[in-house]
């Protein structure tokens, strides 16, 4: 029923025109996003899937060695992957699509398939057909993280009602102490805060280098923004947001200078971001995960819950073929 072919650079326009039309297409599925990575960093093995000669789905992927075995994986250069699917996907197509992928992987001597799924609420029209099809073909969960989702109401006043009283007080406190929140292009100042925080707290570096982050912003000036909290014109906290699609916005980086903790600037930051996002007609704010290796950071989870957020799965599934 389906024909699969390898992606080449000649397909970029066709691919990127298709992604926004899909039910679950995101910024991370776009070749313009994936291609910020330098050539040779990954062994790209992305696929275009056609039905009766027409593009039906795309599957950003790479070949990767995992414990000495060759796997077909969701593209490692993105946070989420899987198939970009039509809005009106039929169950028979979902089943056939997975079957075709499994057959392709076997024919190309892959030892397994690993897919990072977009959260369900990233879809325009909710459907678990693909989850069911993966399950029926033997895929199992290898990782289940929790991401914090906040539903955005029609006004910031309505969202404010969801906040715990402690968060509302923190916002008033930040305003009273002179914290000012603005959109900013000063990624360098934010990156210094981010690097320091990640090093102290987790002993790691940011996912992106500063130059990569600036390059992504250049490629997607309308989809990437930085909100900064300032005290006397000095940035003390910031959030880098990615507009995942037309209804979901994701906090990709959140960081603050702990020496200014008493100002409660992060609370005011998110209040201001929600206000902006509502006016831009976004419906969901994704705070990102608060689990590390499936272990919850309870303090971080509670901080997000106090804005009215709740948790949904961000899953990775796998099928061993040999």
Quick: pLDDT tens for 28-85.
999 999 999 888 889 999 999 999 999 999 999 999 999 999 999 999 999 889 999 9
> Phi-psi category of 289—alpha, beta or left, where left has phi over 0 and alpha has psi -120 to 50?
beta
d(CA 258, CA 99): 51
93 membership: H or E segment, kind and range:
helix 91-107
Report in angstroms the alpha-carbon separations of 50 from 24, 85, 111, 123, 177: 17, 12, 24, 21, 58
Residues 203-261: tens digit of each pLDDT:
778 889 999 999 999 999 999 999 999 999 999 999 999 999 999 999 999 999 988 98
pLDDT score for 144: 94
Mean pLDDT of the chain: 95
State whether 209 and 251 are in the same domain. yes
State whether 83 and 173 are in the same domain. no
Q: Which single residue is written with the structure tokens 């289940």?
A: 144
- Prediction pTM value: 0.95
State whether 139 and 176 are in the same domain. no
State whether 139 and 74 are in the same domain. yes
State whether 91 and 159 are in the same domain. no
Report in angstroms the alpha-carbon separations of 315 from 134, 141, 293: 12, 7, 12
CATH number of the domain residue 173 falls in: 3.40.630.30
Residues 29-39: tens digit of each pLDDT:
999 999 998 88
Average pLDDT over residues 132-158: 97
Query: Is the Cβ–Cβ distance between 56 and 36 less than 8 Å?
Result: no
State whether 117 and 226 are in the same domain. no
State whether 33 and 74 are in the same domain. yes
- On the 0-12 / 13-18 / 19+ scale of CB atoms within 10 A, 165 is exposed
d(CA 304, CA 240): 16
pLDDT score for 138: 98
The reply to whether 63 falls in a domain is yes
The reply to whether 309 falls in a domain is no
State whether 176 and 64 are in the same domain. no
Range of the domain at 199: 153-282
């Amino acid at each position: 029923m389906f024909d699969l072919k390898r992606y080449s650079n000649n397909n970029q326009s066709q691919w990127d025109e298709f992604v926004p039309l899909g039910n679950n297409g995101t910024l991370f599925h776009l070749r313009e996003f994936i291609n910020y990575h330098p050539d040779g960093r990954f062994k790209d093995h992305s696929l275009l899937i056609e039905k009766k000669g027409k593009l039906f789905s795309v599957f950003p992927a790479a070949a990767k060695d995992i414990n000495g075995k060759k796997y077909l994986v969701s593209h490692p250069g993105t946070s989420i992957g899987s198939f970009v699917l039509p809005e009106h996907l039929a169950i028979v197509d979902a089943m056939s699509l997975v079957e075709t992928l499994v057959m392709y992987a076997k024919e190309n001597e892959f030892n397994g398939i690993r897919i990072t799924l977009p959260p369900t609420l990233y879809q325009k029209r909710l459907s678990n057909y693909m989850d069911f099809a993966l399950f029926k073909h033997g895929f199992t969960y290898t990782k289940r993280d929790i991401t914090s989702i906040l539903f955005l109401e029609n006004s910031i006043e309505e969202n404010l009602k969801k906040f715990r009283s402690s968060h509302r007080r923190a916002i008033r406190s930040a305003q009273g102490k002179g914290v000012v929140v603005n959109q900013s292009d000063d990624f360098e100042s934010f990156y210094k805060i981010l690097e320091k925080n990640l090093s102290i707290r987790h002993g790691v570096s940011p996912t992106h280098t500063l130059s990569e982050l600036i390059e992504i912003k250049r490629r997607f000036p309308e989809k990437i923004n930085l909100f900064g909290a300032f005290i006397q014109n000095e940035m003390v906290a910031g959030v880098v947001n990615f507009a995942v699609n037309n209804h979901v916005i994701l906090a990709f980086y959140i960081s603050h200078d702990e020496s200014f903790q008493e100002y409660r600037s992060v609370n005011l930051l998110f209040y201001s971001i929600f206000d902006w996002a509502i006016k831009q007609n976004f419906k969901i704010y994704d705070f990102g995960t608060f689990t590390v290796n499936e272990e919850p950071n309870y303090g971080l989870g509670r901080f997000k819950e106090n804005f009215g957020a709740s948790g949904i799965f961000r899953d990775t599934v796998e099928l061993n073929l040999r």
